[in-house]
């Protein structure tokens, strides 16, 4: 993929005095939804602030779609950042905030007005548009931040904990929106401590711990590279004991647990491809009715636990 379609970090380090923010980060992020995962202090927000030019790297270079942050006019036309900073300028309404930002993008007042209403409608803020932001609830402020990030139709959307303060219905809508953006070829970078929601929507993941990138790529790929942790596969069927007694003929199967309800089993294997072949044969030979077969730990949460030994909850 060409560099004008990638977000590139080249050996980037950021120190706050003597405190490490992130260290030796080298990444090439392709379009799609990419989630940043890590506990408090892992470096997620630092990475996002570096990516959006709010921080300058102590070492290394960053280019977003081949544009350096030192060229703000081009850079910020392509980036929308929904930060975690919760303060808003005093005395301004949500409408005024978005409208002014669009004027700064060079739109005429009329164009800015049309776009402001469209984006406020998209985030469900038309009714409160003319109220001062100071009187908004946390969720409303979050929606205005989202509106500010989306208003100019950026090619890269960076979202630091974008689901905070949103009710479950709004979360589902926003996640759906992110998916649509990614499907249209945009970069959507999300940091969130709500891992199962990130898991559903992400194409790839960047796992951070203590300022270092500990893993990156598609979540399945990352999981499969972790040879020391056998992959767990959940099989729901009518005769799990038959499968259990047969799978041990394979060296790569290290553990089998039959569910208490007698309708399934959990297999740990170092070679999932061979296991699936064997499972097919066992099922056909023994006429077993299979309800479902699914990986049990190919998700962000499990992978993070294996890699870092932490549950990965919390945010920077």
Partner 1 sequence: MNLWIRQALTVMKVELKRYILGRRWIGVYLAAYAPVALLLFAAIQMSRRSISISDLSEAYAFFYQTFMLRLAIFFSCALVFSQLFRGEILEKTLHFYMLAPVRREVIAAGKFLAGAVAMSLIFATSTILTNLLIYAPASSGSNFFFEGQGIAYLLRYVFVTVLACVAYGGVFTLTGLRYRNPVIPAIIVGLWEAFYFFLPESLQKLTIMHYLQSLLPLVIDRGPFSVVVDASSGVFSVLVLVGVAVLLVWAAGKVLNRTEVTYSAD
User: Which residues in this chain contact partner 1 in the complex, by CB under 8 A?
Assistant: 16, 49, 52-56, 70, 72-77, 79, 81, 83, 85, 87-92, 96-97, 100-101, 103-106, 148, 152
The nearer residue to partner 1, 79 or 302, going by C-beta atoms, is: 79
| Shortest distance in whole angstroms from residue 156 CB to partner 1 | 12
d(CA 243, CA 234): 12
In terms of CB distance, is 3 or 109 closer to partner 1? 109
3-class SS at 185?
A: coil
Residue 75 or 275: the one with the smaller Cβ distance to partner 1 is 75
Do residues 267 and 202 make contact, with C-beta atoms less than 8 angstroms apart? no
Pick between residue 58 and residue 305 the one whose CB is nearest to partner 1. 58
CA-CA distance, 266 to 5, in Å (whole number)?
A: 41
Nearest-approach distance from CB 249 to partner 1, in angstroms? 59
> What SS3 state is found at 275?
helix
Nearest to 180 by CA among 32, 18, 28, 6: 32
Q: Minimum distance between the CB of residue 155 and partner 1, rounded to whole angstroms?
A: 13
Cβ of residue 79: shortest distance to partner 1, in angstroms?
8
Q: How far is the CB of 186 from partner 1 (least distance, A)?
A: 17
Q: From CA 121, how far away is CA 252, in angstroms rounded?
A: 54
In the complex, the smallest distance separating the C-beta of residue 106 from partner 1, rounded to whole angstroms, is 5
CA distance 248 to 132: 66
DSSP string, 49-62: HHHTTSS--SEEEE
> In this complex, which beta carbon is closest to partner 1, that of residue 75 or of residue 304?
75
Strand-pairing partners, residue 19, are 16
Given the complex with partner 1, which of 120 and 231 has the nearer CB atom? 120
Radius of gyration of the chain (CA): 23
């Amino acid at each position: 993929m060409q560099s004008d379609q990638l977000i590139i970090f080249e050996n980037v380090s950021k120190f706050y005095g003597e405190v490490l923010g992130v260290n030796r980060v080298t990444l090439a992020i392709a379009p799609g939804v990419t989630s940043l995962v890590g506990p408090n202090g892992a470096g997620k927000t630092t990475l996002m602030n570096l990516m959006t030019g709010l921080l300058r790297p102590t070492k290394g270079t960053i280019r977003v779609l081949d544009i350096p942050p030192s060229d703000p006019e081009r850079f910020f036309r392509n980036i929308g950042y929904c930060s975690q900073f919760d303060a808003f300028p005093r005395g301004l309404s949500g409408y005024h905030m978005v409208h002014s930002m669009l004027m700064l993008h060079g739109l005429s007042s009329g164009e800015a007005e049309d776009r402001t209403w469209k984006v406020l409608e998209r985030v469900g803020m038309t009714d409160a548009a003319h109220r001062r932001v100071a009187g908004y609830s946390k969720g409303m402020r979050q929606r205005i931040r989202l509106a500010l990030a989306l208003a100019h139709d950026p090619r890269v959307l960076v979202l630091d904990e974008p689901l905070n303060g949103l009710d479950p219905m709004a979360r589902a809508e926003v996640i759906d929106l992110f998916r649509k953006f990614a499907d249209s070829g945009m970069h959507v970078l999300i940091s969130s401590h709500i891992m199962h929601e990130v898991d559903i929507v992400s194409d790839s993941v960047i796992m951070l711990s203590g300022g270092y990138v500990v893993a990156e790529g598609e979540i399945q790929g990352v999981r499969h590279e972790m040879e020391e942790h056998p992959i767990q596969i959940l099989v729901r069927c009518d005769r799990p004991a038959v499968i259990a007694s047969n799978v041990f003929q394979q060296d790569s199967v290290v553990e089998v647990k039959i569910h208490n309800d007698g309708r399934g089993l959990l297999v740990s294997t170092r070679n999932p491809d061979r296991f699936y072949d064997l499972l097919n044969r066992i099922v056909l030979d023994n006429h077993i009715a299979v309800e479902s077969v699914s990986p049990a730990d190919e998700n962000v949460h499990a992978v993070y636990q294996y890699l870092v030994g932490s549950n990965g909850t919390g945010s920077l």
